[in-house]
Every structure is written in C-alpha cells, then in structure tokens.
Amino acid sequence: MHQQRIALSALLREAFDRLRERWRGTVAATAIACALGLAISHAPMRSLVAQSAAQLIALPLVASFIYLWVTDLPDGSPRPLKDALERLLDRSWGVLVIDLVLSLLQALTTAPSMLLWDLLLVPLLAATIYADVAATLDDEIPALALLPHAVARTFSLAMQPRNFGRMCLLLAAQFGLQAILLEVALLLPHGTRADGTLVLAIVAQVALAAVTARMFVETSSPHP
C-alpha cells in the first residue's frame, strides 16, 4: 500500500523527537565533533586554513552520523550505535568529498557581481542537497559507485516538483543558519569568536541533519 506524504511540520517534529529519544548518542556525537573541530582549528597552521579545515571535516562527519542515528534499519528497528559507526567509517570518505565540492560551489555564491551565476548555481545546490545523505544511508553501494550513485540519487529526487520545493527549503535553512551564526559571532568576545562559532555551527548542523535525514527517508518512500 502506498504511503501518504507526511506534512512538513510532522517531519520536523519527528526529527527532533528522534534526537530527544536518542539524546545520549546525539550529545556524545556533538561533543566528539566539537572536540575534533577545535583540535583541528588549533593545529599548527595558518589560522584561516585551520578553521576552514575544522568546518570541512567536523561538520560533514557529525551530519553523516546524525543521518544514521535518526533513521531505522531496513527492518524498521532502531539503528544500533555499532551499525551507525561502521557505516560512518565505511562512507565517511565519500561524504567528505561531496561536502568539499558543495562547499566550494557554495562559496562561489558570495562572489560580487555574479547575479546570473547565482541564479544558476542556487538551484544546483538545492538539487544536490541529498547527495551526502544518499551516500550515507543507501544500502549496498560499491565504493567505486558511491559518488556517482549519490549524485544520480539526489538529482532523481529533485526532478519531482514537491521534492525540489522541500530541497530548496533545506538550502534556505542552511543559508539562514549561516547568516545567523555570522551575526552571533559578532556578539562573542574576540578571543573566543572562532571557537564559539565552530561549536554553534556543529550544534546547528546536528539539528539540520536530523531534519534532512527524515525528509530524505520520507521522500524516498513510495507515494500515490
């Protein structure tokens, strides 16, 4: 029997309910990601390079874990921590590559006098919003096929208008959170600004990843 589409508000509640129900693993993953990110950001290299590396590594990894943590196994049972960690180790390289490429593309939207380019690039970013989720959650994907599969999967979902609308909402939420973090950073003491911004970004990423995963699961289900 086909399933009815779940309302966006219900998906949001479901995502945060999953985080609350599995709060120990969520808190632990957030703490580990913060520790990893802060360690990288304070590595003996140029400050800007270290801070960028911290975000490019810590944020995708914690997101990938949360994708797994808030979704069930194929039989409908809660995903054990061991299974989540094994899948994370197996697929983390692909997630890091995908997020690096998307981060580079997203950085192009901030360039001045490129309005026409932005009009082309923003829909592309929206259409690829599920790439790292697919690379993390989809089962039985050979290593060599992981990246092509993730790209094909997210574009195939984006071809459906209602799916693409929700993908655009996720991208808007991502941009919105980034703008909020930039404003909050200005309120932090100068000496703790970089570290505080990184920690807040990781916390925001946990929440956004839970919502993204639940949307992906619902989108991937058959509907009438």
Q: What would the mean pLDDT of 160-178 be, rounded to a whole number?
A: 92
pLDDT score at 106: 80
Judge whether 168 and 180 are in contact, CB under 8 Å. no
pLDDT score at 208: 97
Structural tokens at position 149: 């599969």
- Give the ranges where the chain is alpha helix by DSSP (H): 8-21, 23-41, 47-69, 81-108, 115-127, 131-137, 146-158, 161-187, 193-220
Handedness of CA 68, 74, 76, 81 (dihedral sign): negative
Please list, in sequence order, all residues whose beta carbon lies within 8 angstroms of the beta carbon of residue 70, skipping any fewer than 6 positions away: 15, 18, 19, 22, 209, 210, 213, 214
Which residues, in sequence order, are bridge partners of residue 72? 78
The answer, yes or no, to whether residue 202 has pLDDT greater than 70, is yes
The answer, yes or no, to whether residue 114 has pLDDT greater than 80, is no
Handedness of CA 54, 57, 61, 64 (dihedral sign): positive
The domain spans of the chain are 8-220
Distances (CA, A) of 27 to 31, 52, 72, 199, 202: 6, 23, 19, 13, 11
For 47-99, how does the pLDDT look when each residue is reduced to its tens digit (9 = 90+)? 888 999 999 999 999 999 999 999 999 888 999 999 999 999 999 999 999 99
pLDDT score at 163: 92
Judge whether 98 and 131 are in contact, CB under 8 Å. yes
Structural tokens at position 142: 């050979």
Judge whether 99 and 56 are in contact, CB under 8 Å. yes
Separation CA 194–CA 47 (nearest Å): 10
How high does pLDDT run on average in the chain? 90
Please list, in sequence order, all residues whose beta carbon lies within 8 angstroms of the beta carbon of residue 65, skipping any fewer than 6 positions away: 29, 84, 85, 88
Q: How confident is the model at residue 210 (pLDDT cuts 50, 70, 90)?
A: very high
The three-state (H, E, C) secondary structure of 48-102, written as one string: HHHHHHHHHHHHHHHHHHHHHHCCECCCCCECCHHHHHHHHHHHHHHHHHHHHHH
